[in-house]
Structure 1
Amino acid sequence: MSISLLILTLTLAIDYASTQTCNPITCVLPDCRCWDDPSIPGDIDLTDVPQMVMVTFENALNEEFDQLYNSIFTVNNPNGCTPKGTIFIQDLFTNYDLVRALYDKGHEIGVNSLDGTIPADDQEWKAVLEELHTKLNNNGVKTKDVVGVRAPDLFMGGTDEFIGMGNEGFLYDASCATSKFMQENNLLWPFTYDVIPKAEVKCDIGKSVDRAFPGLWQILIPDLTFNGTICATPQACTSVRTKRDAFDMFFDSFSKHYEGRRSPFVMVLNPAWVKDKDKRDGTIEFLEFIRAAFEDTWIVTSRQALQWVQDPVPQSNITQFQPWQC
């Protein structure tokens, strides 16, 4: 078969897949999950599902933010292990010695951008992701462990971004903010783009995926609400001013997940939020409270949450789940 014919065949196959309804009988874990599948992974009983909370950071990592990020984690998970977060790295102003130190402690390292600029097309996405992979690998962070992408300012790169991700061996995106799927009765579990979700799943910021990308995952970011305002990130909720405000905003959103289908709750903490003492203290108080009040709540990295979705284990057996061990 000629190269041109092969490319045409693959393109037609992708286009065909893009028009199909996702079939949960053929789209099965660990490599595929339908976007509109209402079931809990593994069909685990709701009362036996661990509630995952993902604490994520983004942008440059330097001496100032290294200390602030570490200060967030003051409690242990139910198995006695210290929780870890996911840091999506921007190259500009980053100290890679600190990145390596967090990586060595077990925190997940993802990628964000070179300098905060949003890539213009698939070629720029490929180039940016390749360069970030190379820089991290050269500084002791193994490429095989860097599998997550968060676009600058949650400006989802859509199909262009996923072309770059597939080219560079990434596994998931964590950039797609949504104001549609943010209620207790419609929060979505992470899903793959084996079949695109047509018009139903659209990112509030940036571009949405309009082609099939089998095996590549989407971790949605449901919008937050506070005092009647909807915001994609905590920092965007400008009426949050006090420690109590921060606590209440996080707990309200967390409760929707916990009282719904226990889909993972994502916390998007940017440098401005973490630098504010009241907001930082409210964040810490929230994490301390949910760990004390809900024995089935776990603070995990984005990859750890995805590993559970791919290989779901009931809460009753979860202390032996290898990806969550110390």
Structure 2
Amino acid sequence: MIKKISIFLSVLGLFKFSQGYSCDPNVCKPPSCTCASQLPPGGINPKDAPQFVILSYDDAVNDSTFPILKNMYKGLAHSNGCPVVATHFVQNVYTNYHQVQQLYAQGDEIALHTFQHTALASQNEIDSGRTVLSTFAGIPLNDIKGFRAPFLNYTNDLIQSVQNLGLTYDSSTSTIRQDSSWPYTLDNGFNESDVDCNTTGTCGSITNHQGLWEIPLYSFFYKDASKPPVSMDPPYDNGDLMTLLKDNFNFRYNGNRQPLAIAVHAVHCSEPEAKVKLFRDFIKWCIGQKDVYFITYSQLIEYMKNPVKASELSGHPAVSCHKFETYKVKSDSEICDGIDNNGDGNIDEGIVESCGIGNSYFSTCFGCPTSEPSINNPNPVRNGDRKTIPPQGCTEGTWDPLTSNCVSVSGSTYLESIAPEKIVTEENATSGNLSSGTYSYHKTISLFIIYIFTTLVYSLLY
């Protein structure tokens, strides 16, 4: 028995990254709790795990950024037919809510970035931002699940506010190790060995937050160790940027397959235009590799709650686009849902309203306000009788704010989606050589040994 206890404690050591973080995987179990670990969840061998890529964009969505977002990834699809999607951490000031509605209608996730991009915002400001996005962009409250702190500045009080609001995850930390953890819950606080504590100065003060997920910004690392890692907006330097992107993809793909996070401010991609094309070419190259999926942050959490091998992913919520497909409704007239319902090439023409009040200028399907939305009054009285989407949204179909009903997608009302741009796997598989990831070979072997060791010990104990 003493021998077994000693072995058991050794295994627990795999989940003790530093003096400040310790997690017992026999107590912290999915789906409600997950320990920080470099290995894929569920004891899956890294070579059998899917490779997820999570695209995210911060700040306002408006005429300056919306075209960039569409040109960077829209129209691209995986081999299963589901589109490449992204997560948008949206601030409210300077945002056009009808454009946010269009992103959501096309399968993207909408998350929070405070009302006016305030560092260390109050809980009330975060909540007001959520209310405005639901009221004027038509995002169901239950679908707004995540938060990222402006400037990546956070404190324990801020993380507590995120939890108090019932959100599912935070994404305000950036990693300082290339071989960092998969997403995990904060039941045992931050995994300090992953987080740049010297910069934030907050790690030791972050207490436990039961059930709240942390999805870090996985930094990009240069092979030249003299260059610092980059968590957001990797600098554009033509071929060097593509090399940086592919090197970091290969490190994960040939290693522990932790998610690759591409986090940018869309406005930083406005010049040069070649940067948008480079990112799009990289996305095409990625989905040309086997078992690679671009998913939203919430979909990644769905996978962490119920991890399976890549070969068993079919139908899994993490890679399904059922909701995206059923959102589309065919109609002889527009419904004001962010979709081109009548197929004439225009979206919500004739019924979307343009609003200008105070310092706010935006379009919306849900009625212009009689006063400017603010932190203290996020849902002012609106003109007309258009209704806000219910918190749970529509199970099937789309919300019609003019009739205050969910419009069915059954039978002839279902809009057959136009096939998105397909990526030829063979062509793109030859456009980038995965051999540049061989420098992670020894790391991969080490992870595999840990996996075998953990499995062996489990069998001895149980």
TM-score (norm 2): 0.60
Matches within 5 A, 1:196-275: 196-197=189-190, 199-203=192-196, 205-206=199-200, 207-208=202-203, 210-226=206-222, 228-235=226-233, 237-238=234-235, 240-242=236-238, 244-275=239-270
- Deviations for 1:226-284, whole angstroms, at most 9, x for unmatched residues? 4542233353x54x322x22211111111121121111111001124321312222111
The answer to whether structure 1 residue 33 and structure 2 residue 29 are counterparts is no
Match runs of 1:108-119 below 5 Å: 108-119=109-120
**Cα displacement (A) at 1:151:** 1.0
State whether structure 2 residue 173 is matched by structure 1 residue 172. no
2:316 to 306, 321, 326: 321
Who is 2:150 aligned against? 152
Instruction: For residue 203 of structure 1, report the CA deviation from its aligned partner.
Output: 3.6
C-alpha distance after superposition, 1:261-311 (max 9, x if no partner): 11111100112432131222211111111112x121001111111111111
SS, match of residue 294 in structure 2: strand
Given that 1:246 and 1:283 are in contact with CA atoms closer than 8 Å, whether structure 2 keeps it comes out as no
Residue aligned with 2:30, SS: coil
Higher strand fraction: Structure 1 or Structure 2? 1
CA distance in 1, matches of 2:53, 2:100: 22
8 Å CA contact 1:111, 1:146 repeated in 2: yes
Aligned partners of 2:88 and 2:111 also within 8 Å: yes
Work out the percentage of aligned pairs sharing the same amino acid.
24
SS at structure 2 position matched to 1:200? coil
Counterpart amino acid of 2:128? Answer: E
> How many Å separate the matches in 2 of 1:150 and 1:200?
20
2: distance between equivalents of 1:197 and 1:89?
24
Equivalent residue for 1:88? 89
Deviation for aligned residue 1:201: 4.1
Q: Hey, what does 1:10 align to over in structure 2?
A: none
- CA spacing shift, 1:57–1:20, aligned 2, 3 Å: closer
Look up the equivalent residue of 2:134 and give its one-letter code: N
Do the aligned partners of 1:78 and 1:298 also contact (CA within 8 Å) in 2? no
Counterpart for residue 68 of structure 2:
68
Q: Distance in 2 between matches of 1:311 and 1:175?
A: 24
Shift of the alpha carbon at 1:323?
3.9
Deviations 1:88-115 (A, max 9, x none): 0011100111111111222100111222
Deviation at 1:162, TM superposition (A): 1.3
Among 297, 304, 319, the residue aligned to 1:302: 297
- For structure 1, the residue ranges without an aligned partner over 5 or more in a row are 1-17
AA aligned to 2:174 is A
Residue number in structure 2 paired with 1:22: 23
What secondary structure sits across from 2:283 in the alignment? helix
1:161 — aligned with what? 158
2: CA distance, partners of 1:78 / 1:42:
25
Query: Are the equivalent residues in 1 in contact too, given 2:180–2:194 (CA < 8 A)?
Result: no
State the AA in 2 paired with 1:310. Answer: K
What is the identity, as a one-letter code, of the residue corresponding to 1:224? F
Question: Per-residue deviation at 1:212?
Answer: 0.4
Equivalent residue in structure 1 for 2:274, among 274, 278, 282: 278
226-235 or 214-223: which moved more?
Answer: 226-235
Number of residues of Structure 1 aligned to a counterpart in Structure 2:
295
Matched, 1:51 2:47: no
Post-superposition offset of 1:173: 1.1
Structure showing greater relative contact order (alpha-carbon pairs closer than 8 Å, 6 or more residues apart): 1
Residue matched to 1:13: none
- Which residue in the other structure is 2:366 paired with? none
CA contact (8 A) 1:221 1:232 kept: no
Deviation at 1:154, TM superposition (A): 2.2
**Distance in 2 separating the partners of 1:278 and 1:229:** 23
Verify: 1:291 aligned to 2:284, yes or no: no
**2:32 partner letter:** D
Structure with greater Cα Rg = 2
Flag the structure with higher helix content: 1
* Aligned partners of 1:72 and 1:284 also within 8 Å: yes
Partner residue of 2:188? 195
Give the aligned CA root-mean-square deviation in angstroms: 2.1
What CA distance in whole angstroms lies between the structure 2 residues aligned with 1:108 and 1:263?
A: 20
CA drift at 1:197:
4.1
- Distance in 2 (alpha carbons) for counterparts of 1:262 and 1:129: 33
Counterpart residue number, 1:138 = 135
